[in-house]
Amino acid sequence: MKNKRAQSLEDAVKIVKDGATVLIGGFGPPGVPEILIDGICDNKIKNLTIVTNNAGTDRSGVARLMDEGCVSKLICTFPWAKESFVFKELYDAGKLQLEIVPQGTLAERMRTAGAGLGGFLTPTAVGTDLAEGKQIHKVNGTDYILELPLRGDVALIKALKADKRGNLIYNKSARNFNPIMAMAADQTIVEVSEEVEIDELDPEVIITPSVFVDSYFVTGHYEVGKGSKQT
Amino acid sequence: MKNKRAQSLEDAVKIVKDGATVLIGGFGPPGVPEILIDGICDNKIKNLTIVTNNAGTDRSGVARLMDEGCVSKLICTFPWAKESFVFKELYDAGKLQLEIVPQGTLAERMRTAGAGLGGFLTPTAVGTDLAEGKQIHKVNGTDYILELPLRGDVALIKALKADKRGNLIYNKSARNFNPIMAMAADQTIVEVSEEVEIDELDPEVIITPSVFVDSYFVTGHYEVGKGSKQT
Amino acid sequence: MTDRKYLLTREQIAACVAKDLEDGWLVNLGIGMPTLIPSYIPSDYDIMFHSENGVVGMGPPPLPGEEELDLISAGKGLVTLIPGGAYVNHIDSFAIARGGRLDCAVLGAFQVAANGDLCNWRLPQQKSGSVGGAMDIAAGAKRVYVMMTHTTREGDSKIISERTYPLTAGGVVSKVYTDMAIISVEANELILEAVAPGITPEDVQSATGAHLNIENSQEIKLNL
Amino acid sequence: MTDRKYLLTREQIAACVAKDLEDGWLVNLGIGMPTLIPSYIPSDYDIMFHSENGVVGMGPPPLPGEEELDLISAGKGLVTLIPGGAYVNHIDSFAIARGGRLDCAVLGAFQVAANGDLCNWRLPQQKSGSVGGAMDIAAGAKRVYVMMTHTTREGDSKIISERTYPLTAGGVVSKVYTDMAIISVEANELILEAVAPGITPEDVQSATGAHLNIENSQEIKLNL
């Protein structure tokens, strides 16, 4: 059996190269693979296109990645939040490209890529600025936007546990985009707190089957993003 | 809290009316809600369009439904199997319309309906007889077929357990189409062997959340389809 | 401008919305003002709250000592899960939102037009906005209720004949709850359903940038 | 027609395919002949089998007394789950199949054309066919290997210049394993890789309805 466990953080993130499109899990702090992100920062990777829901919290996680100059473009749903001040500084200074995608459409575009489909028709955003330049198709008298697949070179995701084959389970609302992104990239790297034996995860409760996981890095402890609030 | 538990089999299936489009879970015998189907047979419902993977096994389940003259059209993926002799008799006698859909496309068409989308582009069946009459769209130089949503008036599905809110878990490969069909119909009726208290299913392992379940009928025992083979 | 002392508080508006949510509904609450609603739901009602980040059956904030940092709302505050709730991934969460499973979504807004157009994701002077799940939820919910102040801080009406702000979803709003009134959006007109105590239907009309049918308006009954 | 005593058995063909499956692959096996393959995989290899009905990590048939009626293969026989296997729904199962996660699919066929066209779901004289997951799997797998007899019972070649049967997926087959030979489908030609013992490359060419490049063909080494 292939050993998917990365021997070091450096080892885990070394396939992330300059210019890559990187899907990063999380919604707010839960589910953001902050340790993997730190590894990329340490490698001084440049010119990444990052696909993730938020634009970072405080100066950690995705915010750190931008702060250290690793990111040239951000594809996200909700960039303007108080805690995303690093993004705001860079965007206002013209140092970051931004593409806003509705949240359901963002998730569906990645799933479409993962499922080998060519696109989908959605009622979301019809008639809005976010439909500009997109094809409209009428089905049974209703207008839909044709949305195209969004694939990553790499997905960085966070899970609660991995078994030694690479099957994953998640924790509460930290699940969010992670299982979808796992399907939608050429290489999926997972940050997990714990590795368990191959029989310890019930096959009925596995959320991400091992076939979507290329490697995982075991942190030894589960930590929610440093930006988590208690309110 | 709404009580979704049907008080009788008759009560469970009474919303299935003549002429309805009915999604029926299962792949081979596992996951076929045979008891709900028996209830529909007993009600002498006519003219149903049935969407299900197989064309019935022996004379039970979907085969019984056809045998009793309840079905006018079958949408499925794999009708020609030895055990589907009831279907063959009726089809050869011109008593049944048939629409063949590739299996991944069938699943995806139902999910598309459940997800409120208008269609999807698939590479499956491009250039084949099953693409006849369908629109072709080119995306990045590749041809895809535009497939449209497939929605049921009713979904009849089978699960292992329901909690009192209607959350579901399944058993092994009896999961198959059931969670997808649960999302894709105006009314979803579930056949379950056991009802458990509202706290007994871990929220991390629920496969179908209660919001997709309209009612469930508790059989008191879990039985795989009568057509199951031991080989 | 109307005397501010007669305007409803945010809590009073929330209570008005809560009164119109029906037992058994699945409801999505937008960030901001709508998050006040759960406190005003009758305790014998079973209303489930959906949070776009994959929480089906979102409960109130945790008690001290019971915080779970991985369980948050769309607004990123810590929450709980009710008994019988479930976690889903983003695809299934938006299948719920887009697929017509939400009986109601209560959202904030910058503008609502007489035809039900909703504008709540970007101000015209901004280079960009934060759409989040608003466009999906607004397009997919069975009913979209809006909860907002009746006018901007500058006194401009947020309810107008035709929208001037960037669109979130077209023709989706069916009811608007403001600090002055409750207004239904019908196919051909805006109906003034009820007005805050101390405010007249004419006051509401004059603070509104679209024609209102004020014939049958009631006074809002406040219990708080 | 070739002397039948030199034709490979179904088991021998299965052993030939098994030899070409690589350690670590995720493989989908079609119903019929391909289900013989797992017995010939080296025991120290980790090859996972995917079954379209939502089984990731399908294992061999159960031991007597350990049958689970709810755990079946695509061919509807009872199977088991290997340690570290998982159950998924039909959407995720076909995301695996269509999304390029299958390193290889081994399918039966009625015809394979020189350009890699696969025909395996319906005979031309039939009013209808049983497609199952074949079109999705054939369109999505990284490699499609075909396992079949070289000719029909009537002696017609199943490998031909241009298909005459209804198409399953266009240009997808990369390798064909028959009871006479192993043939690779390259961009511009069919390459005869190996022939069964006792059969000559010329025998294979004469039983084949398309031109073969027979220059470098080997003899198949059989261990059984």
Whole-number pLDDT of residue B80: 94
Give the contacts of B71 (CB within 8 A, at least 6 positions apart): B47, B48, B49, B50, B65, B96
Whole-number pLDDT of residue D222: 84
- With a pLDDT cut of 90, the percent of chain C lying above it is 93
Whole-number pLDDT of residue A226: 55
Whether residue C88 lies within 8 A of chain A, CB to CB, comes out as yes
Q: Do A100 and C54 touch (CB under 8 A)?
A: no
Tell me which residue in B28, B30, B175 faces D89 most closely, judged by beta carbons.
Answer: B175
Q: Do A231 and C54 touch (CB under 8 A)?
A: no
pLDDT band of residue C2 (cuts 50, 70, 90) is: low
Is D96 within the bounds of a domain?
Answer: yes
Q: Would you say residue B109 has pLDDT above 70?
A: yes
Residue of B nearest to A138 (CA): B118
Mean pLDDT of A150-155: 98
Looking at the DSSP bridge assignments, the partners of residue D104 are: D27
Whether residue C47 lies within 8 A of chain B, CB to CB, comes out as no
Query: Which pLDDT tens digit goes with each residue over C189-201?
Result: 999 999 999 999 9
Mean pLDDT of D61-75: 96
Query: Which pLDDT tens digit goes with each residue over B118-169?
Result: 999 999 999 999 999 999 999 999 999 999 999 999 999 999 999 999 999 9
Helix H or strand E encompassing B215: strand B215-218
Residue predicted with more confidence, A230 or A72: A72
| Backbone CA torsion sign across C57, C61, C62, C67 | positive
ipTM: 0.96
How many C-beta neighbours within 10 Å does residue A99 have?
A: 15
Q: Would you say residue D224 has pLDDT above 60?
A: no
Q: Would you say residue A228 has pLDDT above 70?
A: no
**What's the DSSP call for residue D8?**
P
Whole-number pLDDT of residue D162: 97
Whole-number pLDDT of residue C3: 66
Q: Would you say residue B229 has pLDDT above 50?
A: no
Rounded distance, CA B130 to CA B145, Å?
A: 10
Mean of all residue pLDDT scores within chain A: 95
Is D180 within the bounds of a domain?
Answer: yes
pLDDT band of residue A230 (cuts 50, 70, 90) is: very low
Is D61 within the bounds of a domain?
Answer: yes
Whether residue C82 lies within 8 A of chain A, CB to CB, comes out as no
Whether residue C197 lies within 8 A of chain B, CB to CB, comes out as no
Query: Which pLDDT tens digit goes with each residue over D120-136?
Result: 999 999 888 999 999 99
Residue of C nearest to A103 (CA): C133
Residue predicted with more confidence, B23 or C221: B23
Mean of all residue pLDDT scores within chain B: 95
Whole-number pLDDT of residue B59: 93
As its CATH architecture, domain A9-117+149-222 has 3-Layer(aba) Sandwich (3.40)
Q: Do A203 and D100 touch (CB under 8 A)?
A: no
Q: Do C84 and B212 touch (CB under 8 A)?
A: no
Residue of B nearest to D91 (CA): B107
Whole-number pLDDT of residue C1: 52
Mean pLDDT of A148-170: 98
CATH of residue D197's domain is: 3.40.1080.10
Rounded distance, CA D8 to CA D178, Å?
A: 8
The residue whose two tokens read 């993926």 is B77
Q: Which of residues 127-146 of D touch A (CB under 8 A)?
A: 139-140
Query: Which pLDDT tens digit goes with each residue over C152-164?
Result: 999 999 999 999 9
The residue whose two tokens read 């037009």 is C113
Q: Which residues on chain C are in Cβ contact (under 8 Å) with A85?
A: none
Is D33 within the bounds of a domain?
Answer: yes
Residues of D involved in catalysis? 52
The vertex-C191 CA angle with C185 and C193, nearest 5°, equals 110
Residues of C involved in catalysis? 52
Q: Would you say residue D223 has pLDDT above 80?
A: no
Q: Which residues on chain A are in Cβ contact (under 8 Å) with B172?
A: 204
Whether the Cβ atoms of residue A43 and residue A72 lie closer than 8 Å to each other: no
Rounded distance, CA B17 to CA C118, Å?
A: 38
Is D224 within the bounds of a domain?
Answer: no
CB-side neighbour CA atoms (13 Å) of A131: 22
CA distance A125 to chain B (A): 12
The 3-state DSSP class for residue B12 equals helix
Residue-wise DSSP of chain A = ----B-SSHHHHHTT--TT-EEEE--SSSTT--HHHHHHHHHTT--SEEEE-SBS-BTTBTHHHHHHTT-EEEEEESB---TT-HHHHHHHHTT--EEEE--HHHHHHHHHHHHTT--EEEE-TTTTSGGGTT--EEEETTEEEEEE----EEEEEEEEEEEETT--EE--GGG-TTHHHHHHSEEEEEEEEEEEE-TTSS-TTT-SB-GGG-SEEEE-SS----TT----
CA distance D82 to chain B (A): 13
Whole-number pLDDT of residue B114: 98
Q: Express the helix, strand and coil content of chain C in percent, nearest 5 each.
A: 20, 30, 55
Query: Which pLDDT tens digit goes with each residue over D140-165?
Result: 999 999 999 999 999 999 999 999 99
Window from A21-25, A36-40, C186-190 with minimum mean pLDDT: C186-190
For chains A and C, CB pairs below 8 A equal 137
Q: Which residues on chain B are in Cβ contact (under 8 Å) with C56?
A: 209-211
CA distance B93 to chain A (A): 34
Whether residue D92 lies within 8 A of chain A, CB to CB, comes out as yes
Query: Which pLDDT tens digit goes with each residue over A33-85?
Result: 999 999 999 999 999 999 999 999 999 999 999 999 999 999 999 999 999 99
Domains in chain D, number: 1
Query: Which pLDDT tens digit goes with each residue over C70-123?
Result: 999 999 999 999 999 999 999 999 999 999 999 999 999 999 999 999 999 999
- With a pLDDT cut of 70, the percent of chain B lying above it is 97
Whole-number pLDDT of residue A229: 46
Q: Would you say residue B74 has pLDDT above 80?
A: yes
Instruction: Give the residue from D76, D102, D115 with the most B CB atoms within 10 Å of its CB, the best one to mutate.
Output: D76
pLDDT band of residue B231 (cuts 50, 70, 90) is: very low
Neighbouring chains to A with at least 3 Cβ pairs closer than 8 Å: B, C, D
Whole-number pLDDT of residue C214: 97
Which residue blocks in B71-212 are alpha helix, DSSP H? 85-92, 103-114, 178-183
The vertex-A206 CA angle with D95 and D26, nearest 5°, equals 45
Tell me which residue in C83, C97, C98 faces B198 most closely, judged by beta carbons.
Answer: C83
A199 backbone φψ class: left, alpha, beta (φ>0; ψ -120 to 50): alpha
Q: Which residues on chain C are in Cβ contact (under 8 Å) with A231?
A: 61, 77-78
**Taking the model in full, what pTM does it have?**
0.97
* Type of residue found at A54: N
Is C224 within the bounds of a domain?
Answer: no
Q: Which two tokens stand for residue C160?
A: 């107008």
Tell me which residue in A91, A105, A171 faces C70 most closely, judged by beta carbons.
Answer: A171
Rounded distance, CA A190 to CA B13, Å?
A: 45
Q: Which residues on chain A are in Cβ contact (under 8 Å) with D87?
A: 203-204, 206
Tell me which residue in A79, A98, A128 faces C135 most closely, judged by beta carbons.
Answer: A128
For chains B and D, CB pairs below 8 A equal 137
CA distance D23 to chain A (A): 8
Which residue blocks in D2-50 are alpha helix, DSSP H? 10-20
Phi, then psi, of B90 in degrees rounded to 5:
-70, -40
Neighbouring chains to C with at least 3 Cβ pairs closer than 8 Å: A, B
CA distance D94 to chain A (A): 7
Cα C31 to Cα B23, C35, C76, C109, D15, distances in angstroms: 37, 6, 9, 11, 61
CA distance A58 to chain C (A): 14
The residue whose two tokens read 């997800």 is B115
Residue of B nearest to D134 (CA): B102
Whether the Cβ atoms of residue B224 and residue B29 lie closer than 8 Å to each other: yes
CA distance A113 to chain C (A): 13
Helix H or strand E encompassing C138: helix C134-140
CA distance D132 to chain B (A): 5
CA distance D192 to chain B (A): 28
Tell me which residue in C77, C135, C166 faces A231 most closely, judged by beta carbons.
Answer: C77
Q: Which residues on chain A are in Cβ contact (under 8 Å) with B148?
A: 139
Give the contacts of C16 (CB within 8 A, at least 6 positions apart): C8, C177, C182, C194, C220
Neighbouring chains to D with at least 3 Cβ pairs closer than 8 Å: A, B
Q: Which residues on chain D are in Cβ contact (under 8 Å) with A211?
A: 26, 48, 50, 56, 96, 101
Q: Do D167 and B228 touch (CB under 8 A)?
A: no
Q: Which residues on chain B are in Cβ contact (under 8 Å) with D101?
A: none
Q: Do B165 and C81 touch (CB under 8 A)?
A: no
Rounded distance, CA B27 to CA B228, Å?
A: 11
Phi, then psi, of C20 in degrees rounded to 5:
-95, -5
- With a pLDDT cut of 70, the percent of chain A lying above it is 97
Residue of A nearest to C138 (CA): A124
Q: Do B178 and D89 touch (CB under 8 A)?
A: yes
Is D9 within the bounds of a domain?
Answer: yes
Domain range enclosing D62: 4-219
Q: Do B115 and C99 touch (CB under 8 A)?
A: yes
Q: Which two tokens stand for residue A146?
A: 């044709």
Whole-number pLDDT of residue C127: 85
Q: Which residues on chain C are in Cβ contact (under 8 Å) with B118?
A: none
Rg (CA), chain A: 18
Whole-number pLDDT of residue B225: 62
The vertex-A173 CA angle with A170 and A178, nearest 5°, equals 55
Q: Which residues on chain B are in Cβ contact (under 8 Å) with D111?
A: none
Q: Which two tokens stand for residue C106?
A: 């209560």
Q: Which two tokens stand for residue D119?
A: 């025909």
For chains A and D, CB pairs below 8 A equal 59
Helix H or strand E encompassing C110: none
Whole-number pLDDT of residue D135: 98
Query: Which pLDDT tens digit goes with each residue over C15-57?
Result: 999 999 999 999 999 999 999 999 999 999 999 999 999 999 9
CB-side neighbour CA atoms (13 Å) of B200: 13
Spatial CA neighbour of B160 closest among B178, B142, B141: B178
